Structure formats: structure tokens, C-alpha cells
Structure 1
């Protein structure tokens, strides 16, 4: 895989593959031309894409001519980056996306194409397929079903034992994410936050790249320090930020006083994000600003993009210190309604999935918002209309 976010790959990066003789591998493959529209071409394309998703992920570079040995067999190294002649890259990308969408089950999340211009015959197109944690993905085409994975010399069909192992691995990922969240919330409830937090009523948000369940995923936090401390990615409900390295990675925070942290954002070394901040509350009610939560989640997805994370992302929301309280909401038309207090603490909401960086966050978070309102006796969040569309309220 080319070691860059796909939208930052340049002509120079493609040229460097040729100049340095970078060989094909488990995570990199070269193709001189795009898949055609024949059934055989489509099957080959679907097999290639699903094999990367079922293994470690990787890039397919289209428009790259490979070297041949004396017998005419591929040597696995690039000869030149000539590009793809006579194509409309946008149309071709849409065509390939449609083939992928209809030909693999379950759908592979987080797939990206990038067209790169400046080559003699036309653009080079890079297809990036992330390692999938919803694997194994099966090719479903013309009444044929096949599972593929990736080896150093190309794709291979999985046997029964390998398929069974792939399903078991997929199930264990969810367990790892839930266990991480449980351990972190237990620490926060016990007061073991990165900095002391005096406010008893809190919201805790985790954004967990599914690839981060792999213990081998680690970043050099020094390389990403400037992105992490960018004011665009402030801790939740904050008006500024300070920053420092810590044992877990990088911490940004906003203090009320020298001894009281208002909110913080912890960026772990495996790219998992944790942010915690106060919810306004009195003896009966607490505030729950859904509009702000939506905006913060949007910013954190962009932070993950900036530090090289790949989608999809699991989003987990927890409310602490809300037992016996109800959500503040008192419009005149509902003055007759007596809300119910929340009956547990912490209130740990189920996870939801953001499949890409540009998802409609208000749609992704709606089930969680509904559950908070339902915990207080309401039918649903009143910040969405009857069709489930966000109305921009608080």
C-alpha cells in the first residue's frame, strides 16, 4: 500500500514506485488497464477487490505497465506509469463502484478511488481497499459464490477452514471494541481521567477506527502532533485547547481552572479518539446539545482522516451522572407531559457505524439520540421531524 492518505497521492508518488522498482506485494498490485465490461473481467475485478478486503487491505494501481521476464511472465515490478488512454475517470470510477456494490456481499466499506493526472497517455487511477473487519466478503456474480484472500503472489480462493476462521475473527473485533469502551468508562467513573474533572455529569464520546482493533496498528504521535493540536479539532464543548504528550498518545484539553479540566480529547497511539466534557445539569434535568455533538463528530472524522486512519469507524456515546435526571425539554405544546428520570448510570448507548469520512453524521447519530429521549420517556428525539430528518434544533 502506498504510505499516504489516498487523496494526497501525487504523480511524484506514482513515479517513485517505478524509479524505486517497488514490487507487487500482499498490499499492492499493478494493472495496465481498467477492468472491462465482460463477465470474465468483472469476476476478476471483484475477486481482486474482495481479496484485499479479506486480507490486509491494499492498493491497485491502474495505468501501470509491468515488467516481463524472458518468458513473457510478469516480473511483479513496474516498468512505466503511462496512464489510461481515452477515458473519463469520473465515469470509469462510477462504473467500477457500481460493479463492486452489486458484486460483493457484504458490501466493502471505505473503498476509495483517486484519479491522478500528468501521465503521457492519461490519468492513473488508484483503488484503495481497506482491511475489512466485516469480512469475509464473498463475490456474488452470475450465480457463483467465492471467497478470496490475498497472498504475496496474488489472490487465492479460501477453503472451508479459512472461511470459518475469517468469520470468527470478524466476531472478535466487536468484542475488542466493547471491552475497550467498558474499561475506559470504568476508569472515568472512578475518576481516573487524564486530568481531574470536577463536573459530575459528563458525556463521553469514543470514535474507534475498526482497523485499530488490530494490535499492530500504531502511529508515531510526533509525526501527527501538529494535526492533533489543530484548533479545528477541539475537545468536546470547549472554547480553546492546550496540549501535551502523555503515555497513551497525545492529549488536548481545556481547563476551567488550574485544577479543573473542563474537557479533553485523548488521541491514542492506535488512532482511537476519546473525548469527555460536562453536561449542564441541575437536580432534575440535564442538557443534551445534539447539534454540538453532531459538529464535534464531524470534526473528529476529519481529524482521523488527517492522521491516516481508514474507515469505517465505530461511534460510542456514554452519559455519566445522569441517573435520576431527565432531559430538559419544555415547549408549551408538551407542557402536559411529565418526563421520566433515567434509571441507570452510566447510560451506555449501543455503537453505531460511520462507514466513511463524509457520512451524514446527523443520520448516523439519530438512533443514539432517540434512545436518550426514550430513556426519559419520550417517543424519539424532538430534533428530527416525523420523517427522521434533522431539523437543526437542540
Structure 2
């Protein structure tokens, strides 16, 4: 038994007591400490070794305030001091003592007699993390037997993790674009010219946690298609879960869909062109707004079902007919004066953008996405995105 399946902000006293009652042993994802770490250099190095070993392997929880013998919990020993101050102290030490930084969240769980401190360390997809306190320069990993210092071969494996994920992500996108372009999407698309948005959690290629299918099947608002307020049709399929835009199931065509794959990857596809006077147009400003808003929404939806960051966001255009980029803002009466270049290829696959967490708001999301949006604008002949004001504010149109 462990606590990783429970969102950190939902852990309560009963969960802590269950660990003790069931004698849940320490594993590679959970470690108990009777007392918090002291202020000596030795204490500091032990703390950094504990949290970095979790980050460098599977992630996990460091639980302070439980007495254990040989890894078996025996009784709560609640922390009675300033828990906010203690959490801030430990988080500050982790930030200053490790390189690169790790993702660390904390919660003080109220229990009889005080608090149990739970430090949740996310599995890192940018390993290995080393201790830099006092020039220690040591690496730690973790197994079911506890933390250990990896050998050369194990370190090499840690160093190659991030490039391997990048290659897998790009390969996945390439294969999906080929299938969509050839008509092998999970639905029959109304338009052949489409925007394809992929949100790829770094955990997707080794994730073994099942999707909450029953919950998704009842929820028409999460993972809904681009351009819709909610899904008009939901379907569990071989690849995972499918949300569709057309309420008329007899019509058998879809303007847009979202396919949530079993590993947690999201594929959102939307009909692309707006046609004016018969001219196929790519409305760049609207596409930029769509990419930004829907990437943020889908990252939040993933977080809501327990598929954690980091996320890679990838946007692509499939352009079957020779179209033209247009840079007019919605409602601009002089739309024709903002024409850009014609499309010169059937596919535009823009560079990926990495998010360490789901963005807090549209401005933060757009700022991070700006290199991708610039690349989209440059494809149409502009030097950069026209959706940002001179002060850097992203124009949402609201």
C-alpha cells in the first residue's frame, strides 16, 4: 500500500493510520521518518539523498512523523512545531541543494497530536539529479531495498532517459499525422485540412495506471473537442477514449474529435479552413488562440485525472488543398490586406513546447508557447506571431 494514488491535497489522517494498521512497508516509492531532518551538514545530505533518489527513479512520498522498524511503520509520531515553517525549510533546501531542481510538493496532514508531513517527489524526466551541497556531487537512486548510488551503467541509463522520451514523442506524432492524412483517423473527418494538437505526458510511454473510463464516459465537459463547449458523443475504443463534436450520430462525420490514448496522450483534431469567396484560408490568429487555449485546457484535464506533468505540446497543420495564410484579427474588416504566403507543403509540424506543470492562465501558457506560435506565423511569411502586443500581452480577443 502507498499513497501515490491519492492526490496530495486529499490525504487525510485515515490514510496515514491505514499505513500503520496494514504495516505497509517502505518500498521504492515510500519512505518513513520518525523525526524531521536536523540542521547539520550530515542531516542536509541525508535529506537531499532521500528526495533525489525518489526523483531519479519512480518518484514517491517521504513521510515525516511515523516511527518504523526495518521499514515497517509502527506508530504515528506527529510533528508538533511550526509545520509551515518546516515545510518551507525543507523545500528551500531541496531547491538549493540539487541540480537540476526537482518537482517537490508538500502537505501537513492534521492528525491527533499534531501533523504528519508528506513530501511528494515527482518522478523526474530530466534525470539524474545530483547533490551539489558542499560540492558533494553524488547521485542517488532507489529500489525496494532503499536508496543506493548507481553504477556507471545505471547512470548512463538515467542520462539517456530525456532524449529517448523526445524521440518517442516525435515518432508518435509522425505516425499519427501519417494516419490522419491517409484517412485513418478514429472518425471520418468533415474537413481534410485540419489542425492537430498533441499533448504528450512524459509518463505516457511507461504509464501502467488505467484511465478512469467510467468517469470519462459520464463527463461531457472534460476532453471535449476543439470548438465545442462539450462533447456531443463519447465512446470507449481500443486506443482509449474518444470524444466527438457531432451530435447527429447518423451523419457519421465529425468536424473535430479528441482521442485520449491509454497512456495519457491527447490528440485533438479540428477542421482548419475558413473559406471566404472560395479562397481556402488559414486564419492564423484564430489558430494561435485555439492552440494556446486548448493546450492549456487539455493539460488541466490530464492533471484532473491524475496524469501528471511534464507535458510536451505539439501542434501540426495538415493542408491538402493549396491554401493561404491570413493574419487578420477576427472582426477585422480589412481581412484581405492581411494575406500571407500560400502553403508550400501538405504538412507543417511545429516544434514541441515543454510544460513542467499545467499553466496557471492563458497569458502564462501563451508566453511559453510563443516560439511555436512564431514558427506558425513564419510559415505564412510573417517575422513572428501577430497575437502579442508590444508589451508581450497575448491578445485573447476577449
TM-score, length of structure 1 as denominator length: 0.89
Q: Distance in 2 between matches of 1:219 and 1:212?
A: 11
Could you say what secondary structure the match of 1:187 adopts?
helix
Deviations 1:304-323 (A, max 9, x none): 12221121111111111175
2:223/2:243 contact within 8 Å kept: no
Deviations 1:74-113 (A, max 9, x none): 3211122232111132x333332222222222222x4322
2:243 maps to what in 1? 252
1:54/1:135 contact within 8 Å kept: yes
1:224/1:307 contact within 8 Å kept: no
2:327/2:340 contact within 8 Å kept: no
Structure 1: 5+ residue stretches without partners: 67-73
Q: Distance in 2 between matches of 1:235 and 1:4?
A: 28
2:395 maps to what in 1? 391
Tell me which of 255, 274, 277 is aligned to 2:270: 277
**Map 1:27-46 → 2, pairs under 5 A:** 27-46=29-48
1:70 maps to what in 2? none
Deviations 1:217-259 (A, max 9, x none): 24144354357x3414311112431101101111111117522
Q: 1:154/1:329 Cα in 2 relative to 1: closer, same or farther (>3 Å)?
A: same
**How far does residue 333 in structure 1 lie from its aligned partner after superposition?**
10
**How far does residue 372 in structure 1 lie from its aligned partner after superposition?**
0.8
2:60 maps to what in 1? 58
Q: Distance in 1 between matches of 2:99 and 2:376?
A: 33
1:245/1:251 contact within 8 Å kept: yes
Q: Distance in 1 between matches of 2:155 and 2:256?
A: 44
- Between 345-354 and 294-303, report the one with greater CA deviation: 294-303
Q: 1:345/1:105 Cα in 2 relative to 1: closer, same or farther (>3 Å)?
A: farther
Q: 1:220/1:14 Cα in 2 relative to 1: closer, same or farther (>3 Å)?
A: same
Q: 1:232/1:250 Cα in 2 relative to 1: closer, same or farther (>3 Å)?
A: closer
Could you say what secondary structure the match of 2:370 adopts?
helix
TM-score, length of structure 2 as denominator length: 0.88
Tell me which of 72, 78, 100 is aligned to 1:106: 100
The alignment of Structure 1 onto Structure 2 pairs a total of residues equal to 382
Q: Distance in 2 between matches of 1:232 and 1:304?
A: 9
**Map 1:302-321 → 2, pairs under 5 A:** 302-321=300-319
Tell me which of 266, 282, 294 is aligned to 2:259: 266
Query: Higher RCO, 1 or 2 (CA under 8 Å, sep at least 6)?
Result: 1
